[in-house]
Amino acid sequence: MMSLSSLLPLLPEALCREVRTHPAARCAPSVCEVRLRRGRPSSLSVFRDGALCNLPLSHHASEEELTQTLARAADGSVYAHEESLREGFLPMKGGIRLGVCGRATPDGGGGIKALSSISSLVFRLPHAHPHAADELCNFFEKTQGGILLFAPPGGGKTTHLRAFIQALGTRYRIAAVDTREELCVEDEALLLDCLSGYPKRLGAEIALRTLSPEILVLDELGKAECDALCALVSFGVRTVATVHAQSADEVRRAPAFAPLLRSGLFSHLWDVRGRRPSPLWEERA
C-alpha cells in the first residue's frame, strides 16, 4: 500500500516540506488524507482517539500546482483517465483514492462531458489492519446469505473489505469488482480474482458468469447499483458489499436501498464501526 512518505513526491514542493515537518507526520499511520485546495488552506486528516480530525496547513495551492500534482498522480497521462475524472476520481496504485473537484461541463443527458479548472485534490491513504475484519469473518462463516456493511464516509468500509478478502481468500473463491481501483491492493500473495475499473453491474455479471466465485465483493453501492444488482440473488453466490450510512436504521429506511434489501441478496447488515451484525429488518414486538 502507498504510504505517506511515498505520496510526498507527488505534492507541490512547499506542501511536501510542510507535511514532512508537521507533528502529525511523526505518527504517519494516523494520517488518512492530504487535501489541496486552490486559494484555500491545504490540510491533513488524522485519526485521534478513534475520531477524525482535520488539521489546516499554511499552504494554499495555486491552479498550476493542482494541475501539476494531478499530472504526477496520473503518471503524466491525465488524458488516459478522462472517464474516471468525469466521475470525480483518479485510480492510483497501492489502493489510494484521489478525489478530484473542479468545474463540470454537463453533457445534456444528466452526465458530465468534461472536468476542468481543478479546485481540490483529496488523497485518501489506505491503512492495513489485518485483524479489522476478524469479527466479520467469524460471523460470515457461522451464518448464511450475504452481508451488507455500512459506515459513514471514512468509516473503514474499504479497509474491512480488504481484511475480509485477505482472511478468507485461502478458504473461498473470491471475486471483487473494484470500480475505483482502491480495493484490490498489490499483494502478490492475495488469492483473489479482481475486475478493476469495471462498472459494478457489468463487473458483477462477468464475475458470476465466468469466474465461478463463492463470494462476490462490491464496494460502495449507489442507487443505480442497488436497482441493478437485485437479480444477483438468482445466481446463488454470497455477496459482501458496502454502502454509506450512519446507522442500520438509515439503511433500512433509505428508499435507494429498499429494492436491494427486499431482493434476498443479503441476510444481515454489519455495523463497521461497531463491528457487530444487525438484523436486515427492524424487529417488531
Percentage of the residues of the chain whose pLDDT score is greater than 70: 93
Q: What is the pLDDT of residue 279?
A: 87
For 186-221, b where at least 16 C-beta lie within 10 A, e where not — what string?
A: eeeebebebbeebebbebbbebbeeeebebbbbbbb
How many Å is the Cα radius of gyration of the chain? 20
For residue range 114-150, what is the model confidence (pLDDT) as tens digits? 888 999 999 988 776 667 789 999 999 999 999 999 9
Number of structural domains the chain divides into:
2
Residue 200 belongs to some domain of the structure:
yes
Write the CATH number for 240.
3.40.50.300
* Class of residue 154 by CB neighbours under 10 A (exposed 0-12, middle 13-18, buried 19+): middle
Determine the distance from the C-alpha atom of residue 234 to the mean position of all C-alpha atoms in its chain, rounded to a whole number: 27
219 and 84 in a single domain? The answer is no
Q: What is the pLDDT of residue 129?
A: 66
d(CA 212, CA 107): 38
Residue 238 belongs to some domain of the structure:
yes
275 and 165 in a single domain? The answer is yes
Q: What is the pLDDT of residue 189?
A: 64
162 and 95 in a single domain? The answer is no
Q: What is the pLDDT of residue 285?
A: 43
Q: What is the mean pLDDT of residues 225-241?
A: 81
Task: Please determine, for residue 61, whether its predicted confidence score (pLDDT) is greater than 80.
Answer: yes
Q: What is the mean pLDDT of residues 225-250?
A: 85
d(CA 234, CA 205): 12
177 and 270 in a single domain? The answer is yes
Name the pLDDT band for 98 (thresholds 50, 70, 90): very high
Residue that is last in its domain, among 95, 124, 153: 124
175 and 235 in a single domain? The answer is yes
165 and 188 in a single domain? The answer is yes
Q: What is the pLDDT of residue 109?
A: 79
15 in Cβ contact with 7 (< 8 Å): no
163 and 253 in a single domain? The answer is yes
102 and 156 in a single domain? The answer is no
**Closest by CA position to 99, among listed 152, 47, 154, 155:** 154
179 and 261 in a single domain? The answer is yes
Of 58-62, 140-144, 278-282, least confident by mean pLDDT is: 278-282
Residue 109 belongs to some domain of the structure:
yes
Residue-number span of the structural domain to which 8 is assigned:
4-124
Give the chain's mean pLDDT.
87
102 and 165 in a single domain? The answer is no
For residue range 143-164, what is the model confidence (pLDDT) as tens digits? 999 999 999 887 889 888 988 9
Of 18-22, 28-32, 209-213, least confident by mean pLDDT is: 28-32
The three cell numbers locating residue 207: 464475475
d(CA 145, CA 72): 43
Task: Please determine, for residue 259, whether its predicted confidence score (pLDDT) is greater than 50.
Answer: yes
Residue that is last in its domain, among 57, 92, 124: 124
Residue that is last in its domain, among 124, 146, 166: 124
